[in-house]
Amino acid sequence: MGATVEVPSNCQFCGYDCALLCTVADGRVTAVRPDPARYPYGAAVMASCPRWPLNIAALDAPDRVNYPLRRVGERGSGRWERVGWDEALDDIASRLAELAAESGPETVASAIGGPHASFWPLHRFMNLFGSPNNMGIGQICWNPRIWMDLVTFGWTVEPDIVIGLTGCLVLWGTNPAQSDNSAFWQHIRAYAAGEGALVVVDPRRTEAAEIADVWLPVRPGTDGVLALGLLNVIIAENLIDESFVERWCHGFAELRAAAAPFAPAAVAVTCGVDAEDIRRAARLFAAGPSALVSGRGIDQTGEAVAPTHRALCCLRAITGNVDRPGACVLAEAPDFVTEMAMEMSDAMPDACRRAPLGAHRTPLQSYAGYDAVRALTERLGRTPPLRYLASAHPDLVLRAMEHGRPYPVRALIVQATNPLITYGDAPRVRRALEALDMLVVLEYRLTPTAMLADYVLPVAGALERPVLQVHGGVANAAYGGPAAVAPYYERRTDYEVFRALGLRLGQDGAWPHATLEEAFAAQLAPAGLTWEAFCEAGTYWPAPAFGKHERRDGAGNPAGFATTTGKIELASELLPRFGGPRLPGPAIGGPKAPARSLTLITGARRQPYNASMYFEHGRLRRAHPAPQATVSPRCAERLGLCVGDGVEVATDAGTARFVLAVAPMRDDVVSVDYGWWHPEWGADERLGGAFESNANNLTRCEIGEPLIGSWSYNAIPCDLRRSDEALTWPAGRASGADGEVPAPSPVECGDDAIS
């Protein structure tokens, strides 16, 4: 037996990648504990998180996919054969090449999801293969804020919340107590306990709202109107930072005129909040320094998304809360190799740029929109990542799968996502996936999407793969660390998979590094940092400098902002080029549908889960055993419903069933949990329970916001009623003695059974 050693690694069970120390014997992890020496350790966070102790069990979980699997039965039948990596990769590469020869390389699409992977290897492969059609849910998560920051400030801004300095913090459409439960939430709690003011904008009285000085329970979809109301108060009461606005803001007179109709009394009626609370929140924010953090709650309201983010940018600007300590920081360009360069997007063939699906439908979220913004940001040495900001809209990719218009999408590569659960209109996603000539899924286990695949490729997970997170490529920040052990069984890193496919398809010069560690080392080298030194620290995060717009060049001219005018563009000079408005408008979000009794919000996260992950863990399922539809006590009483009742939610898109819960929130809103399925069921016609309680039975991913394409996962008209059909979520189902939900039957593999 070899020596037992303790080595550093990272959890990777959520996007924070908390540092761990792993006891390793003979290439196997036998114990884990938090590593207090590396980022982002926090004693309170680690003590309250139930996920990181499950890392050891996950390495040998009975439902893990350990070998490449090829489908031998009908899609969704659960019949597979085990094949070797070379056979699988040879066949996949050959079939992709055949499809490209028949229908063009754009016939191959990709899908990405959460942060537990590196996406640039897939993007590099797709760029060099010649397809522009990578899709994700960026249009309703991350992209809208990044786009509007770029348009307004010339780069992205991040909150700088300093206890004792930040005078007001606004949390808008986010509840970090449930969505991440990280050091960030602990910091907010400490901030709220001090002298700073906390304002929370959310239809629900969340944990954050409970400790807030002002809670604005906004009617879903009216966030943009509320933001204009705050602008109205700040301007009408002359609470602006006059010197900053005069020196650094473009279009203030136009903004003032646009905000004038949105007096608090009128906004209160539209948004369903108290007019005096609007005034109080505006005054607190104007007093500053003030920070603002927004979340998916406003990213998912369709038509209102971009106008709302633009209004929030203007709030920061007219109060002088831009690149100011305690307010926000304008991110620096990375010292290391950028995400754009790692993607090798500049090597994309011209034909690839001419082939995207529906660029005219989302004119800003396009190659033309990206090029226009890049030309501005590179004046100050910053290059945004292309593949995220020009990603194809799922509605258009699904249409090309279903109907072959404007050309057929015949193959899909899925990495770190589960579209059957996470994309709008789940039944439509199933039909589209079933219509493909080829579906390849890189996964840990047989998710509902993987159950429909032609190939399921086993990827290395937490403790088996190194991690280097770089904040989407828009900041001079990185964190992560090494793998503790080599991948178990025949699992491989995602990088190795795409490198192997690329080499088979003629991309020889584009993959010089044999391993992901070597690629990460090369990425960090320009920062003067070795991979070993990075792993020891767990982070690369130089202290930010503020007031960068005041920096002088050799001729004594200030740098300004990377916009058309060199100033913060309250009135945009760029957006009209793409059919957009100069100023933030009062768009109301949500589908235009017949009136129903309630308004639905669907994005609620629930600890201890993370999106659609970890329902296989018995300990976690016992903590929260059933998906909930949550309403206010008054709403439940009005509908004659009791806590624990089985209920059905209905929208124009479909129905889904949940268990009723009550909580303080708006009386006209129902919030449903996100991401639920039954990992223990295995493959049959139900596809792991993908449709019973799937919030995306209730949504569509049709293009809503006209510049980026954001669709509506919130502000959806709905009805709520008691369900007479028994739900399949009793707590007793999650009773595995080893902490796992009982695993499905072994994977059927020809005449043999394998795990």
Mind listing the pLDDT tens digit for each residue in 268-327? Answer: 999 999 999 999 999 999 998 999 999 888 999 999 999 999 999 999 999 999 999 999
Q: Which residues contact 656 (CB under 8 A, 6 or more apart)?
A: 648, 649, 672, 691, 692, 693, 694, 695, 697, 698
Question: Edge-to-edge, what's the strand order for the sheet holding 752-754?
Answer: 134-135, 108-112, 411-415, 438-443, 455-458, 69-71, 79-82, 747-749, 752-754
Q: What is the pLDDT of residue 45?
A: 83
On whether both 631 and 748 belong to a single domain, the answer is: yes
Mean pLDDT, range 123-149, rounded to an integer = 94
On whether both 616 and 697 belong to a single domain, the answer is: yes
The 10s digit of each residue's pLDDT in 618-670 is 888 888 899 999 999 999 999 999 999 999 999 999 999 999 999 999 999 99
As given in the structure block, the two tokens for residue 4 are 């037992």
On whether both 204 and 228 belong to a single domain, the answer is: yes
Q: What is the pLDDT of residue 47?
A: 87
| Inside any domain, residue 546 | no
Evaluate if residue 745 carries a pLDDT over 50: no
| Inside any domain, residue 489 | no
Structure confidence at residue 749 as a pLDDT band (50, 70, 90): very low
Q: Are 291 and 608 in contact (CB under 8 A)?
A: no
Q: Are 315 and 285 in contact (CB under 8 A)?
A: yes
| Inside any domain, residue 488 | no
Number of C-beta neighbours around residue 551 at 10 A? 12
| Inside any domain, residue 568 | no
Q: Which of 296, 330, 364 is the last residue of a domain?
A: 330
Q: What is the pLDDT of residue 114?
A: 73
**Judging by DSSP bridges, how do beta strands 197-201 and 168-172 pair with one another?**
parallel
Q: How many domains does the chain have?
A: 4
On whether both 191 and 325 belong to a single domain, the answer is: yes
The 10s digit of each residue's pLDDT in 42-76 is 888 888 888 899 999 999 999 999 999 999 999 98
Evaluate if residue 737 carries a pLDDT over 50: no
Percent of the chain with pLDDT over 70: 96
Number of C-beta neighbours around residue 405 at 10 A? 10
As given in the structure block, the two tokens for residue 695 are 């919030």
On whether both 437 and 300 belong to a single domain, the answer is: no
Which domain covers residue 661, as residue numbers? 598-754
Evaluate if residue 494 carries a pLDDT over 80: yes
Peptide bond into 40 cis (omega under 30): yes
Residue-wise DSSP of 527-572: GT--HHHHHHHSEE-PPPP--GGG-B-TTS-B---SSSSSSEESS-
The 10s digit of each residue's pLDDT in 424-471 is 999 999 999 999 999 999 999 999 999 999 999 999 999 999 999 998
Q: What is the pLDDT of residue 753?
A: 37
Evaluate if residue 742 carries a pLDDT over 60: no
On whether both 100 and 223 belong to a single domain, the answer is: no
CATH number at residue 37: 2.20.25.90
Per the model's pLDDT, the better-predicted residue between 127 and 611 turns out to be 127
On whether both 177 and 311 belong to a single domain, the answer is: yes
Check the CA dihedral 613-614-616-618 and report its sign: negative
On whether both 272 and 286 belong to a single domain, the answer is: yes
On whether both 184 and 315 belong to a single domain, the answer is: yes
Mean pLDDT, range 200-206, rounded to an integer = 97
Q: What is the pLDDT of residue 479?
A: 94
Angle between helices 223-236 and 275-287 (to 10 degrees): 60
Q: Which of 466, 214, 109, 158 is nearest to 332 (CA)?
A: 158
| Inside any domain, residue 747 | yes
Q: What's the rounded Cα separation, in Å, for the pair 44 and 67?
A: 38
Structure confidence at residue 755 as a pLDDT band (50, 70, 90): very low
Structure confidence at residue 743 as a pLDDT band (50, 70, 90): low
Check the CA dihedral 626-627-630-636 and report its sign: negative
* Local structure of 619: helix, strand or coil: helix
Mean pLDDT, range 597-607, rounded to an integer = 87
What are the beta bridge partners of residue 5?
A: 24
The 10s digit of each residue's pLDDT in 695-718 is 999 999 999 999 999 999 999 999
CATH number at residue 366: 3.40.50.740
pTM recorded for the entire structure: 0.95
Q: What is the pLDDT of residue 752?
A: 37
Q: What is the pLDDT of residue 317?
A: 98
Evaluate if residue 546 carries a pLDDT over 50: yes
Question: Edge-to-edge, what's the strand order for the sheet holding 478-481?
Answer: 467-469, 478-481, 539-540
Q: Are 134 and 387 in contact (CB under 8 A)?
A: yes
On whether both 181 and 128 belong to a single domain, the answer is: no
**∠312-313-319 over CA atoms, to 5°?**
90
On whether both 323 and 267 belong to a single domain, the answer is: yes
| Inside any domain, residue 34 | yes
On whether both 168 and 267 belong to a single domain, the answer is: yes
| Inside any domain, residue 485 | no
Q: Which of 195, 194, 200, 158 is nearest to 176 (CA)?
A: 200
